[in-house]
């Protein structure tokens, strides 16, 4: 290409300037497009990530709500089971007066402050449904009603490990409930209801763990015709099969469960 010459015969610089300007403009245009494209893609990626995050948020929220509800279930159950802190057990006795179908309710209030070790064992037995069908095998007028050998020898054997003694902090008055024992360190599952004031047992280290607050008249109706004739060793070995055959009128616990204070009566 022939350059444009000026009056002095040299190529004019204006033409070069024009070419340079065009080249610079072209470079700037390409650069702007590239930058714009990169920025757009970057913004699109951010928007996409943010959009993805926003789309996932409801799922996360649902998950949190579900998790919160799941966590709340044990709390609800715990609230429903607050009766355990009331230390109240409702016993339903059957065969009262030796008559089938004669039932009555007895509510026992546990006293951990009297006998914490004994109360802990009583609660464990109740939670294990131990008391159902336990028979009153020793009933002495003007003394005690004794029971606490499970009708299933296998279940009875499960609880044969004795518990430590509690010091005597309450007297064996009428209506109190106490573990039976054959000396120190022998308490397992047998208990007795004091039918009269048996405070003389205090000196023999029988520590009451609870008291009847409702239904003492039911305790008085527990069949006492057999006295203490049933053989405890035989009950341990063969359970209720032995008792049902030989002592059919014997009263027994039909059910036992924890109750709230407002449902105790």
Rounded to whole angstroms, how far apart are CA atoms 95 and 250? 7
| Residue 249, SS3 per DSSP | coil
| Per-residue model confidence as pLDDT tens digits over 127-153 | 999 999 999 999 999 999 999 999 999
**Per-residue model confidence as pLDDT tens digits over 78-121:** 444 444 447 999 999 999 999 999 999 999 999 999 999 999 99
Grouping H, G, I as helix, E, B as strand and the rest as coil, residue 258 is strand
* Structure tokens that stand for 54 in this block: 């926003």
**Mean pLDDT for all residues in the chain:** 79
Instruction: Give the pLDDT of residue 191.
Output: 98
Rounded CA-CA distance 146/138 in Å is 5
Q: Under a CB-based contact definition with an 8 Å cutoff, are residues 107 and 90 in contact?
A: yes
Q: Residue 260: what pLDDT?
A: 87
CA distance 49 to 43: 10
User: Does residue 25 carry a pLDDT above 90?
Assistant: no
The burial of 49, by beta-carbon neighbours within 10 Å (0-12 exposed, 13-18 middle, 19 or more buried), is given as: exposed
pLDDT confidence tier of residue 263, bands split at 50, 70 and 90: low
Whether the full predicted model's pTM is greater than 0.75, yes or no, is no
- Residue 261: the pLDDT is 75
Q: Which residues is 91 bridged to in the sheet?
A: 106, 256
* pLDDT single digits (tens) 197-222: 999 999 999 999 999 999 999 999 99
Helix (H) and strand (E) counts in the chain? 6, 8
């Amino acid at each position: 290409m022939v350059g444009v010459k000026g009056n002095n015969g040299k190529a004019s610089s204006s033409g070069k300037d024009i070419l340079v300007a065009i080249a610079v403009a072209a470079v700037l245009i390409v650069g702007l497009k590239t930058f714009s494209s990169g920025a757009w893609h970057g913004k699109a990626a951010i928007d996409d990530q943010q959009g993805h995050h926003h789309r996932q948020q409801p799922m996360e929220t649902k998950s949190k709500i579900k998790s919160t509800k799941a966590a709340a279930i044990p709390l609800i159950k715990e609230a429903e089971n607050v009766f355990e802190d009331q230390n109240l057990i409702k016993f339903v006795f059957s065969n009262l007066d030796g008559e089938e179908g004669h039932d009555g309710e007895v509510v026992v209030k546990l006293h951990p402050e009297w006998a914490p070790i004994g109360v802990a064992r009583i609660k464990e037995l109740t939670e294990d449904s131990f008391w159902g069908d336990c028979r009153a095998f020793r009933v002495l007028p003007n003394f005690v009603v004794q029971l606490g050998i499970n009708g299933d020898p296998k279940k009875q054997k499960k609880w044969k490990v004795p518990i430590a003694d509690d010091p005597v902090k309450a007297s064996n008055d009428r209506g109190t409930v106490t573990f039976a024992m054959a000396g120190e360190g022998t308490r397992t599952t047998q208990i007795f209801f004091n039918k009269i004031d048996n405070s003389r047992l205090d000196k023999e280290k029988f520590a009451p763990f609870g008291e009847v607050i409702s239904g003492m008249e039911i305790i008085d109706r527990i069949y006492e015709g057999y006295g203490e004739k049933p053989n405890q060793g035989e009950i341990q070995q063969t359970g209720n099969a032995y008792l049902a055959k030989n002592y059919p009128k014997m009263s027994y616990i039909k059910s036992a469960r924890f109750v709230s204070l407002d449902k105790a009566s």
